[in-house]
Structure 1
Amino acid sequence: MTVGMGYEDAFGPQVPLSGGGSQTATFALASAAYRDNPVEEIKKADNEWHQTTIKAGQKWSTGLFRPNLGEAFSRAVIDRMIGPGRKPLIQSFGMEPQVVVEHCLAAYRLRRERDKRLSTVMVLCGLLFLPGLLVWLLVFQIRTMIDKNTNKRASALATTLLVGVGALAVIFLVKMPFTGFWAWYARACVIVPVLGWFWAKQICESAAKDLRGRWDSLLAGSSIGAQVPEAVPTSPGETQAEALRQSLARLSAEQQSNAVFYAGPKGILGMGTRWGSWQLAEDLTPADPTREIHPFRSWDVIRSIHDQLRMLERGPLNTGGFPPPSIRHWIVTPIGEGAKGVSRTEQSADVEAFQHRTHSIQDICNKQQFGSGERHYLGVQWTLWDGQLIITMMITVTVLHETLRIEVTGHALGPVNPLFMDKPSAPTRSVQRSVRRWETRTVNLPLVPTNEVVRLAVRAPITWYPPLLNHLGGTMALPEPFGLRHAWADQPWRHRFMADDALRAATPVLRVVHAAAIRVLAENGVDTEKFGARSAFLSGAVQDPSPRKADLYDA
Structure 2
Amino acid sequence: MAGFDDGAGAYDFSPGAQIPLTGSGGQTAPTQALASAAYRDGPVTDLTAANENAKVSAPRFSLFEPNLGEAFARAVQTRMLGAGRKPLIQSFGCEPQTVVEHCLAANRIRRERDIRLTAVMVVFGLLFLPGVLLWLGGFQLRRTLAGAQDKSSGLLGAVAIAALGVLAVIFVVMLPFTGFWGIYLRVMLVAPVVGWLLAKRICERYAKDLRSRWAGLLSGGGIGAKIPEAVPHAPGDAGAETIRLNLAKLAAEQRSNLVFYAGPKGILGMGTRWGSWQLAEELVPAEPGSEINPFRSWDVARAIHDRLRLLERTPVHTGGFPAPVVRHWVVAPIGEGAGEVSRPDGQEVEAYSFKDFEVQRICNEQQFGSGNRHYLGVQFILWDGQLVLTMLVNVTLLHHTLRIEVTGHALGPVHPAFFGKPSPRKKTVSKSVRFWETKDIELPLIEAKEVVRLAARAPLTWFPPVLDFLGGKLSLPEPFGLRHVWADKPWRHRFMADDALRTATPVLRAVHAAVLKVLQENGVDTEKFGARSLALSGQVQAAEPGQPDLYNL
Aligned-partner Cα distance in 1 for 2:26–2:224:
15
Partner of 2:284: 285
Aligned-partner Cα distance in 2 for 1:232–1:312:
43
How many angstroms does 1:445 deviate by? 3.5
Partner of 1:552: 550
TM-aligned CA distance change 1:403 to 1:437, over 3 Å: farther
8 Å CA contact 1:13, 1:227 repeated in 2: no
1:302 aligns with 2:301: yes
Aligned-partner Cα distance in 2 for 1:494–1:542:
21
Q: What secondary structure does 1:87 align onto?
A: coil
Partner of 1:5: none
For 1:14, give the aligned amino acid.
L
Partner of 1:39: 44
Question: Which structure 2 residues correspond to residues 113-512 of structure 1 after superposition, within 5 A?
Answer: 113-148=112-147, 155-345=154-344, 347-429=345-427, 443-512=441-510
Residue in structure 2 matching 1:52, options 54, 61, 79: 54
8 Å CA contact 2:348, 2:354 repeated in 1: yes
How many angstroms does 1:147 deviate by? 3.7
1:15 aligns with 2:22: yes
Superposed CA deviations along residues 160-217 of structure 1, whole A, max 9, x for unmatched, are 3323322332232222211111011111101111100001111111111111110000
Q: What secondary structure does 1:329 align onto?
A: strand
RMSD: 2.1
TM-aligned CA distance change 1:30 to 1:160, over 3 Å: same
For 2:281, give the aligned amino acid.
E
8 Å CA contact 1:169, 1:190 repeated in 2: yes
Aligned-partner Cα distance in 2 for 1:55–1:175:
44
Superposed CA deviations along residues 313-338 of structure 1, whole A, max 9, x for unmatched, are 10101101111111110000111111
Aligned-partner Cα distance in 1 for 2:21–2:113:
25
8 Å CA contact 1:13, 1:229 repeated in 2: no
Identity over aligned pairs, percent:
63
How many angstroms does 1:528 deviate by? 0.3
How many angstroms does 1:55 deviate by? 1.1
For 2:400, give the aligned amino acid.
E
For 1:214, give the aligned amino acid.
R
How many angstroms does 1:546 deviate by? 1.5
Partner of 2:78: 79
Partner of 1:6: none
8 Å CA contact 1:264, 1:551 repeated in 2: yes
Partner of 2:32: 27
How many angstroms does 1:154 deviate by? 6.0
Aligned-partner Cα distance in 2 for 1:42–1:529:
55
8 Å CA contact 1:12, 1:228 repeated in 2: no
Aligned-partner Cα distance in 2 for 1:175–1:500:
76
Give the TM-score taking structure 2 as reference length: 0.93
How many angstroms does 1:155 deviate by? 2.1
Aligned-partner Cα distance in 2 for 1:35–1:242:
28
8 Å CA contact 2:97, 2:250 repeated in 1: yes
Q: What secondary structure does 1:542 align onto?
A: helix
For 2:406, give the aligned amino acid.
V
For 1:68, give the aligned amino acid.
N
Q: What secondary structure does 2:341 align onto?
A: coil
TM-aligned CA distance change 1:433 to 1:263, over 3 Å: farther
Q: What secondary structure does 1:533 align onto?
A: helix
Q: What secondary structure does 2:33 align onto?
A: helix
Give the TM-score taking structure 1 as reference length: 0.93
Aligned-partner Cα distance in 1 for 2:152–2:507:
65
Q: What secondary structure does 2:212 align onto?
A: helix
Superposed CA deviations along residues 287-314 of structure 1, whole A, max 9, x for unmatched, are 0012110110000000001011111110
Unaligned segments of structure 1, at least 5 residues: 1-10
Unaligned segments of structure 2, at least 5 residues: 1-17
8 Å CA contact 1:383, 1:391 repeated in 2: yes
Partner of 2:14: none
Superposed CA deviations along residues 390-424 of structure 1, whole A, max 9, x for unmatched, are 00000010011100000000000000000001100
How many angstroms does 1:235 deviate by? 2.7
Residue in structure 1 matching 2:537, options 531, 536, 539: 539
Superposed CA deviations along residues 336-366 of structure 1, whole A, max 9, x for unmatched, are 1111111112x41111000100110011000
Partner of 1:4: none
Q: What secondary structure does 1:70 align onto?
A: helix
How many angstroms does 1:239 deviate by? 2.0
Superposed CA deviations along residues 87-127 of structure 1, whole A, max 9, x for unmatched, are 11100001110111110000011111111110001110001
Aligned-partner Cα distance in 1 for 2:354–2:421:
41
More displaced 10-residue stretch of structure 1: 436-445 or 490-499: 436-445
Q: What secondary structure does 1:185 align onto?
A: helix
Superposed CA deviations along residues 24-58 of structure 1, whole A, max 9, x for unmatched, are 10010010000111011112212xxx621111132
Q: What secondary structure does 1:393 align onto?
A: strand
Aligned-partner Cα distance in 2 for 1:21–1:539:
36
For 2:243, give the aligned amino acid.
L
TM-aligned CA distance change 1:528 to 1:22, over 3 Å: farther
Aligned-partner Cα distance in 1 for 2:108–2:26:
27
For 2:196, give the aligned amino acid.
W
Partner of 1:8: none
8 Å CA contact 1:34, 1:70 repeated in 2: yes
